[in-house]
Amino acid sequence: MKSQLRILLLLSCVLCTLTGCGTVTTDSTAEPVATTVSQTNIYEGKLLGPITDAFSAYWYKGKAELTSYILEQARYGEIRQGNAVLIFVTEDFSRSKQVKLDNPAQAGDDSVNVMKLNLTKNFNTGIYPYSMMTSVFTPVQRKANPQTMKITTSSQEWCGHTFVQMNLNDKGYRIQQNSYFESDGDKTLSLDGAIPEDELWTTIRLNPDDLPTGKLQLIPGTMFQRLHHLSWTTQSATAELKAVVENPQLMSYTLIYRELERTLTIEFSKAFPHEIESWEETYQSGWGEGAQPLTTRAKRKKRILLDYWTKNSVADEVLRQELALE
């Protein structure tokens, strides 16, 4: 009996080896963030980063740039009214842990100064609300650190919530997704050889001359991925940077994804600090025969510079009116 048990155990071990036991990634087996961040430059050494003293004067005075937008969001085949906010600020980031440093002065070479973007959207679909947020952390000195180090996106609505995190490592981007929805599921995977679309928003603010043009391989925006339940993969796109004919003070940057039937256009100031004035995103919205091309639009309402993290008292709520959020 004991010999039969040993045989069964041996067969189980062999079978596990042949069929790939443990191929499902869990928290205990997931690859950790690399302590030495990959600097494989998919931009082929073309990045310049900030090139003027004006950058320091604007971005290193202890305040964030807050801009509110009137939002028209395409969802379920209809246009929904809402608000969007872009928050840009520089901060010190840990190269190894890829989190905001508590004590930058003690971090030494582990400290990397980044441009952080927080993009928020709030809109209603019928009775229930959507609240979405994307955070992007892109090194300011792009020659030394060419690629965005981290991207996160969360989405909350009454059906459930989702969270995705992308971390740069020596193989590209490690992506961890957690979702209420079966079609999304909980998964961990890697993507390499492509530029995250979310990074292009911070590139505009750092130096729009660094924006890639022509045929590109991109990781589509994480908010778009969430709303369309896409499989994680890179996509071919064409990018164009040009002046806005109707307003020579503005530039437009357009991405066209033919396979996704999606176009994204961001308009921003030609002059420093290259504020983002508006954006439009056209894609198929709705399900089945009811799906139709609709355009999400965001247009600037108000912009202020503020150390918002110190404005958390009841008396400070008046600042939301200044930003046209109430």
pLDDT tens-digit profile, the chain (326 residues): 434 434 443 333 333 333 333 222 333 334 444 444 444 556 655 677 776 889 999 999 999 999 999 999 999 999 999 999 999 999 999 999 999 999 999 999 999 999 999 999 999 999 999 999 999 999 999 988 999 999 999 999 999 999 999 999 998 999 999 999 988 889 999 999 899 999 999 999 999 999 999 999 999 999 999 999 999 999 999 999 999 999 999 999 999 999 999 999 999 999 999 999 999 999 999 888 888 999 999 999 999 999 999 999 999 999 999 999 98
292: nearest Cα among 6, 16, 75: 75
In a domain, 283, yes or no: yes
**Other CB atoms closer than 10 Å to residue 4's CB: what's the count?**
8
> What is the distance between the alpha carbons of residues 254 and 202, in angstroms, rounded to a whole number?
15
What tokens were used for 188? 């961990």
**Is the CA virtual torsion 223, 298, 85, 62 positive or negative?**
positive
Alpha helices in the chain (DSSP H): 2-19, 53-59, 199-206, 222-228, 318-322
In a domain, 9, yes or no: no
> What is the distance between the alpha carbons of residues 194 and 208, in angstroms, rounded to a whole number?
19
Amino acid at position 51, single letter: I
In a domain, 33, yes or no: yes
In a domain, 84, yes or no: yes
**Is the CA virtual torsion 199, 123, 91, 178 positive or negative?**
negative
pTM confidence score: 0.87
Please report the pLDDT score of residue 42 as a whole number: 67
> What is the distance between the alpha carbons of residues 197 and 190, in angstroms, rounded to a whole number?
16
Q: How far from chain centre, in Å, is Cα 288?
A: 28
Please report the pLDDT score of residue 47 as a whole number: 75
Domains: count for the chain? 1
Please report the pLDDT score of residue 289 as a whole number: 80
Please report the pLDDT score of residue 169 as a whole number: 95
Q: Which domain holds residue 195?
A: 24-322
What tokens were used for 193? 């050889």
Please report the pLDDT score of residue 85 as a whole number: 99
In a domain, 229, yes or no: yes
Please report the pLDDT score of residue 24 as a whole number: 28
In a domain, 222, yes or no: yes
Distances in Å between the alpha carbon of 65 and those of 68, 69, 115, 273, 314?
A: 10, 13, 11, 10, 21
Please report the pLDDT score of residue 116 as a whole number: 99
Please report the pLDDT score of residue 281 as a whole number: 99
In a domain, 194, yes or no: yes
In a domain, 214, yes or no: yes
